Amino acid sequence: MMVSRVTVGGAFDGRLSEGDVVLRVAGQPVTRPQEVERLMEKHSAGNAEAVCWKVLRSRQQVEARVQPSVRASDGTVRIIVFNGIVLRPTPRAVAERGGPVRPHTRPGEGLYFWHIFAGSPADTFGLSAPGWLVQVDEEATPSIDGLLDVIRSGKLSGREWLRCRTMDSEGRPTVRALQPDAKFWPTVELARCSDEGLEVDTGAVKPRWLRIEHGDK
């Protein structure tokens, strides 16, 4: 397994280098990221000591002491469906996967999509996931609020065709023209909130999802 990206000062404390080939973790041979994850969880549970990794670097086997850190998922709290494209801010896991770092690919930024509804305008006219929606016609779409501002302004109202500019994880742009369908595929926002009160048994806040349909002013 090759290290493609290292966060210096983060979980690895700069002890691994990009291009290192991971051979063993805690004395066990590894060939897949899932094996590394399982071994790190096993040997770091309740143990503050660093775990020994053996890596191949410049044709030499090198040992690195790796201190694990726990990072929770950022979850999903807001989604918008635009002509069948399911959009959300860039998840941290996607941002850290590698590839060119651009403003729209940073954690919590941009409009990342991983799913397109079958039969929707986006599906009919050839948009493919995953990727980022960065522009509609001449309007930039840096965020959910940015896209909603464009919709509310009326700049897309009555348009027979919309030009959607997307980018993949390598920064390659694609432009697709699609016919919007506001009747069957309106712009819908799903927002996760927790104002329903408390659960009786656990006392935890019970979350719910709000569905908000957006259109021109």
Q: What is the pLDDT of residue 73?
A: 61
pLDDT above 60 (res 84): yes
pLDDT in tens, 166-192: 999 889 999 999 999 999 999 999 998
Domains in the chain (CATH in brackets) are 1-71 (2.30.42.10), 78-214 (2.30.42.10)
Extract the tokens encoding 212.
Answer: 């908000």
pLDDT in tens, 49-71: 788 899 998 889 999 888 776 66
- Ranges 43-47, 111-115, 198-202: which has the least confidence: 198-202
Sign of the CA dihedral running 25, 31, 33, 34? negative
Q: Does the reported pTM lie above 0.75?
A: no
Percent of the chain with pLDDT over 70: 81
Distance from C-alpha of 58 to C-alpha of 53, rounded to nearest angstrom: 16
Task: Read off the pLDDT band of 48 (50, 70, 90).
Answer: low
Q: What is the pLDDT of residue 197?
A: 45
Closest CA to 173 of 209, 131, 212: 131
Highest mean pLDDT: which of 16-25, 49-58, 107-116? 107-116
User: DSSP of the chain, one letter per residue?
Assistant: -B-----TTTTTTT-S-TTPEEEEETTEE--SHHHHHHHHHHHHTT--SPEEEEEEETTEEEEEEE-----------EEEEETTEEEESPPHHHHTT-S---GGGSTT-S-EEEEE-TTSHHHHTT--SSEEEEEETTEE--SHHHHHHHHHHTTTTT-S-EEEEEE-TT--EEEEEE---TTTS-EEEEEEE--S-B-TTT-PBPPEEEEEEE---
Q: Are 112 and 102 in contact (CB under 8 A)?
A: no
Residues in the chain: 217
pLDDT above 80 (res 216): no
Q: Are 41 and 69 in contact (CB under 8 A)?
A: no
Q: What is the pLDDT of residue 139?
A: 96
SS3 sequence of 92-117: HHHHCCCCCCCHHHCCCCCCEEEEEC
pLDDT above 50 (res 4): no
